[in-house]
């Protein structure tokens, strides 16, 4: 039977204020990350898990690459092919972290039926979600790095190391990861409210982000209205920034009049705004889930 759980602390199920020192928070985060690694990897032998973690994003990127080769002729548009490949490589972070955070709620509530324990545990539900997602960040980083390596060595996707703006690239990457986390937090809150169709809806959001943010094709091909929606999403600017800083060119003619620094500044601003939206949205959705009695409601799904 579902109950409206009350957690010790704030609305996100965090511990009381007297245990909020930075050191204590990092200790809780580390424990959550260790637990996340244990859950992610304990279904098989370590070698098999590593192979699976590596092959999954690589297979997705190569599938898109060969589809592109088949329908367009890569020799005629090498820049478009490189943009598609790079966008697919970095989209692994969104799949693992943003979508994965929403899946965590479904997993804990439906499969393990441990949501009530997470809300009453000292680690706190919000810290637990971040810790579990830290593990997914590491897995996504390995997959993205290997995908880029394959692109460099086998597919001829190169960038100039001597003229790489490393500080700007780091800022853009950090802002993109922040944006992915913000969207993930919002999806986690949404999953708390949804009773049965959370898994389907979260997967749908993943596909929508892939289409709206210019992973597969430039946002210029989207109809009016959807283009404006795409520009409000920080991931659109993240993929554009990473392409420019690594490849030397973007993929969107609509964004071409923005300089590289301007693109990164807009990305940082949008990422910060979505971080606030994500946290406030999560708190509001969690309160709604409490009111409906769905925090630990299972559907035998």
Non-local (6+) Cβ contacts of 138 within 8 A are: none
Ranges of H-type helices in 73-165: 78-93, 100-106, 115-120, 125-154
Backbone phi, then psi, for 228, in 5-degree steps? -65, -40
Q: Is residue 90 domain-resident?
A: yes
Q: How confident is residue 270, by pLDDT bands cut at 50, 70 and 90?
A: very high
Average pLDDT over every residue of 113-131: 88
Non-local (6+) Cβ contacts of 237 within 8 A are: 231, 255, 263, 266, 267, 270
Q: What is the spatial distance between Cα 252 and Cα 209, in angstroms, rounded to a whole number?
A: 16
On the question of pLDDT at 10 being above 50, the answer is no
Q: How confident is residue 70, by pLDDT bands cut at 50, 70 and 90?
A: low
Non-local (6+) Cβ contacts of 277 within 8 A are: 182, 186
Between residues 65 and 177, which one has the greater pLDDT?
177
pLDDT tens by residue, 188-201 = 999 999 877 787 88
Q: Is residue 11 domain-resident?
A: no
Q: How confident is residue 245, by pLDDT bands cut at 50, 70 and 90?
A: very high
Half-sphere exposure of 197 (CA within 13 A, CB side): 3
End-to-end CA separation in angstroms for the chain:
15
Q: How many domains does the chain have?
A: 1
Q: What is the spatial distance between Cα 190 and Cα 109, in angstroms, rounded to a whole number?
A: 13
On the question of pLDDT at 20 being above 80, the answer is no
Tell me which residue range forms the domain holding 273. Answer: 17-292
Helix (H, G, I), strand (E, B) or coil at 157: coil
Q: Is residue 53 domain-resident?
A: yes
Q: What is the spatial distance between Cα 150 and Cα 213, in angstroms, rounded to a whole number?
A: 23
Q: Which pTM does this prediction carry?
A: 0.84
Q: Is residue 235 domain-resident?
A: yes
13 Rama sector, left if φ>0, alpha if ψ -120 to 50, beta otherwise: left
| Residue with the two structure tokens 């593990």 | 135
Q: Is residue 10 domain-resident?
A: no
SS3 content of the chain, % helix, strand, coil (to 5): 75, 0, 25
Q: What is the spatial distance between Cα 226 and Cα 223, in angstroms, rounded to a whole number?
A: 6
Residue 300: the pLDDT is 64
DSSP symbol at 155: S
Q: Is residue 3 domain-resident?
A: no
Between residues 258 and 81, which one has the greater pLDDT?
258
Helix (H, G, I), strand (E, B) or coil at 76: coil
Q: Is residue 301 domain-resident?
A: no
Please check whether residue 105 is in contact with residue 98, taking contact to mean a CB–CB distance below 8 angstroms: no
Backbone phi, then psi, for 80, in 5-degree steps? -65, -40
On the question of pLDDT at 84 being above 50, the answer is yes
Non-local (6+) Cβ contacts of 186 within 8 A are: 277, 278, 281, 282, 285
Q: Is residue 212 domain-resident?
A: yes
CA nearest neighbour of 133 among 44, 36, 199, 66: 36
Q: What is the spatial distance between Cα 47 and Cα 51, in angstroms, rounded to a whole number?
A: 6
Residue 124: the pLDDT is 86
Average pLDDT over every residue of 233-260: 94
Token code pair at residue 186: 């919002």
Q: Which of 8-17, 72-81, 189-198 has the lowest average pLDDT? A: 8-17
């Amino acid at each position: 039977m579902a109950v409206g759980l009350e957690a010790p602390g704030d609305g996100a199920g965090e511990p009381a204020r007297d245990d909020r020192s930075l050191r204590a928070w990092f200790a809780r985060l580390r424990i959550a990350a260790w637990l996340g690694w244990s859950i992610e990897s304990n279904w098989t032998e370590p070698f098999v898990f590593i192979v699976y973690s590596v092959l999954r994003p690589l297979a997705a990127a190569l599938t898109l690459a060969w589809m592109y080769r088949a329908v367009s002729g890569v020799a005629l548009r090498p820049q478009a092919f490189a943009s598609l490949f790079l966008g697919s490589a970095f989209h692994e972070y969104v799949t693992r972290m943003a979508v994965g955070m929403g899946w965590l709620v479904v997993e804990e509530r439906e499969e393990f039926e441990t949501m009530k324990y997470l809300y009453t545990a000292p680690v706190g539900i919000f810290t637990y979600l971040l810790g579990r997602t830290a593990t997914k960040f590491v897995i996504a980083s390995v997959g993205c790095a290997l995908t880029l390596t394959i692109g460099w060595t086998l597919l001829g996707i190169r960038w100039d190391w001597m003229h790489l703006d490393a500080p700007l690239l780091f800022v853009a990457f950090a802002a993109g990861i922040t944006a992915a986390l913000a969207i993930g937090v919002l999806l986690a809150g949404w999953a708390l409210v949804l009773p049965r169709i959370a898994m389907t809806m979260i997967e749908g959001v993943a596909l929508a982000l892939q289409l709206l943010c210019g992973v597969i094709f430039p946002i210029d091909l989207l109809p009016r209205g959807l283009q404006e929606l795409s520009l409000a999403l920080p991931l659109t600017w993240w993929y554009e920034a990473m392409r420019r800083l690594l490849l030397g060119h973007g993929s969107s003619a609509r964004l071409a009049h923005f300089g590289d620094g301007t693109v990164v500044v807009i990305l940082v601003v949008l990422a910060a705004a979505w971080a606030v939206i994500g946290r406030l949205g999560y708190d509001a959705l969690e309160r709604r889930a409490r009111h409906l009695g769905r925090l630990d409601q299972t559907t035998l799904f």
